Amino acid sequence: MNKNYIKLTLDIILVLIFSLLFNVRVFGGLAFHEIAGLGIGFGFLIHILLNSQWVKKITLRLFDSKLPKKIRFGYFLNLLLLIAMLLSIVSGLLISKVLFPGLGSVDPRSFRQVHEIASYLALVIVGIHVGLHGQWILNLLKKIFRVGASKPIIVVVKLALAIVVLFGGLDVLSNQITPQTLNPGNPPSVNSERVPNSNSSNQIERRPDHLEGSMKGSVDGGRRGEFRNANPSGVLATFLGVIGLLAVVTYITEKLFAQKPLKIQED
């Protein structure tokens, strides 16, 4: 099988799983979240190994003046993504409650914030990364499905992508995904509702399914059985929409900057 096909298949799987990790109540709760999180780590390592020749080549030429700016920017972006992933995985291990409970004697609140911020930073970088490789992805998909640029299926694919990006972006904006989801200490948003706790006279904040992320409230509530499982399709629609929106903006921006300026002829 063509190595590029393997890369694309792996990347699609990683993006899908990565998107699901932004809600700890998907597929039953923390068990899936922690196992899939480790899986993302191994998958990311395989991704680096598959691109090891490129990494080695660019590292040796990193400060070469002839190296295109896009490639240099992509290299540092990938390095930042690696750091964000490492922070997310390590902090996740330290606050693990299922696979490695009590692994680290740390302040769970601080490391949970590190985990969330690193994860959302990785989400943004993944979107930009996909956009920078947009043309490569489109060319590869054309080869896989044996279609030309003029075929109606290309129009359908672009339309479907636009719909996903549009609805994903609107969903994010309407539910105020930031900054509420980054800080578990924020006051309830307008989209939050209060759910009575049978074990206490207090009430627990309940946010829309796809906004629970890795917040402490969702973790504790999930263990007490106070929250139902999240809808995976809703989570995917939201966070794939975020990635798609960033990818499209990056792709269009790159195309605009890549265009050569028109030469004005003097009279």
Domain count of the chain?
1
Instruction: Answer whether residue 182 is part of any domain.
Output: yes
* Rounded-to-integer distance, Cα 59 and Cα 132, Å: 19
Task: Answer yes or no: is 264 within a domain.
Answer: no
Let me know if residue 15 belongs to a domain: yes
DSSP bridge partners of 23: 213
Tens-binned pLDDT, residue by residue, of the chain (267 aa): 678 889 999 999 999 999 999 999 898 889 999 999 999 999 999 999 999 999 999 999 999 989 998 899 999 999 999 999 999 999 999 999 888 887 767 778 889 999 999 999 999 999 999 999 988 888 888 887 776 655 565 566 566 666 666 665 555 555 544 433 444 334 333 333 444 444 444 444 444 444 444 333 344 444 444 456 788 988 898 898 889 889 989 988 988 887 655 444 443
> Is 84 within the bounds of a domain?
yes
Distance CA 133, CA 256 (A): 15
Tell me: cis bond preceding 179? Omega within 30 of 0 counts.
yes
Interval 66-114: pLDDT, tens = 999 889 999 999 999 999 999 999 999 999 988 888 776 777 888 999 9
Q: Is residue 266 part of a domain?
A: no
User: What's the domain range around 9?
Assistant: 3-258
Instruction: Look at residue 29 and tell me if it is in a domain.
Output: yes
Q: Is residue 43 part of a domain?
A: yes
- Residues of the chain by 3-state class (helix, strand, coil), percent to 5: 65, 5, 30
For 189, counting Cβ atoms within 10 Å of its Cβ (0-12 exposed, 13-18 middle, 19+ buried), the class is middle
Residues 6+ apart with CB under 8 A from 155: none
**92 inside domain:** yes
